[in-house]
Amino acid sequence: MFKFLKKKEVEPINENFYAVASGKLISMSEVNDPVFSQKMMGDGFAVIPENGDIYSPIVGQVMSIFQTKHAVGLKMKNGLEILLHMGIDTVELNGVPFDIKIGEGDQVTPETLIAKVNLDAITSANKGTEMVVVITNMDQLKSFELSKTGQVLAGEVIGAAKA
Pairing type for strands 143-146 and 157-162 reads antiparallel
Contacts of 2 (CB under 8 A, 6+ apart): none
Instruction: Report, as residue numbers or ranges, the catalytic residues.
Output: 85
CB 110 within 8 A of CB 55: yes
Residues 41/136, Cβ–Cβ less than 8 Å: yes
Contact 17, 158 (CB under 8 A): yes
CA-CA distance, 63 to 72, in Å (whole number)?
A: 8
